[in-house]
Amino acid sequence: MTPTIRTLIVDDEPLARKKLRALLEREDDVEIVGECATGRAAVAAVKQASPDLMFLDIQMPGLDGFSTLEEIGEENLPKVVFVTAYDKYALRAFEVHALDYILKPFDRERMTQVLLRVRREIAPGATRQLLSLLEDLRSPHHQTLLVKHAGNIMFVPHEEIDWVEAADNYVRLHVGNNSYLLRETISNLETTLDQRSFARIHRSTIVNIRRIKHLRPLFHGDYEVVLKSGVRLTLSRTYRLPFERALGRQI
């Protein structure tokens, strides 16, 4: 007889909980032991019901998904599939440490893939992996960006980015001969990049310092920044001092 996977659904959106329940109820080996709309309620439900698996939303009022896991604690932690509407949370750490994640909106095919992985990978050691995931996601500088491109989800390591340009509420990542559009402001992205490797050189431009070939003085304190790829950018005098701090020297 196939063991039953006792499952808890945690999401602050009623429609999201309803959709998860509808998909999970079709599975013979899944038993839904509860639904929660808040992280605090999820902490109590886990302690009471001891589920094997939890579908956990990341963006919730009060306790978010990560804080919820910390409140539950290692001893009572079930296996977790993250549910998120935001690409920025679906980093490589999920693939390395967690059982899986679902990116909203999702469908039955995606749920089938998730459950196949759950059945295959639900095993001793996942708790330690999940705690390692939390540590990675709490670090100030994530090492990978995740972007949608041509119907796929692309993992873009920071060190492969040549430069970044602002495009309203998006940024365009220039990676070799490719470019990827990411829904993020350039100011927010700047805070996630390692300031030892990346520098803001213009209100609409961030550059990977290791990709710079040379600088050429222009007028009024500006510089032309020539990358190894041949791309030419402008270092505004407004950003000269921060750029020099990133370089560790004056220009």
| Euclidean distance between CA atoms 80 and 94, whole angstroms | 10
| Euclidean distance between CA atoms 36 and 14, whole angstroms | 10
Q: Nearest Cα to 130, choosing from 63, 59, 56?
A: 56
Residues 107 and 182 in one domain: no
Residues 121 and 160 in one domain: no
Q: What is the pLDDT of residue 95?
A: 41
Instruction: Please give the radius of gyration of the chain, using alpha carbons only, rounded to the nearest integer.
Output: 22
Q: Say if CB 10 and CB 56 are below 8 A apart.
A: yes
Q: What is the pLDDT of residue 73?
A: 84
Which of 84, 104, 138 terminates a domain? The answer is: 138
Q: Nearest Cα to 49, choosing from 37, 34, 39, 31?
A: 34
Does residue 1 surpass a pLDDT of 60? Answer: no
pLDDT band at 180 (very low <50, low <70, confident <90, very high): very high
Q: 117-147, pLDDT tens digit by residue?
A: 888 777 555 455 555 555 555 554 457 888 8
CATH number at residue 108: 3.40.50.2300
Residues 102 and 208 in one domain: no
CB atoms within 10 A of CB 151: 5
Which of 96, 120, 138 terminates a domain? The answer is: 138
pTM for this predicted structure:
0.52
Q: 43-88, pLDDT tens digit by residue?
A: 999 999 999 999 999 889 889 888 898 899 877 888 889 888 766 6
Look at 37 and 84; give whichever has higher pLDDT: 37
Q: 210: domain range? A: 144-247
* Number of structural domains in the chain: 2
pLDDT band at 158 (very low <50, low <70, confident <90, very high): very high
Residues 13 and 61 in one domain: yes
Q: Which residues pair with 101 in a beta bridge?
A: 82
* Residue percentage of the chain with pLDDT more than 90: 47
Tell me how many degrees the CA angle 48-129-198 measures, rounded to the nearest 5. Answer: 125
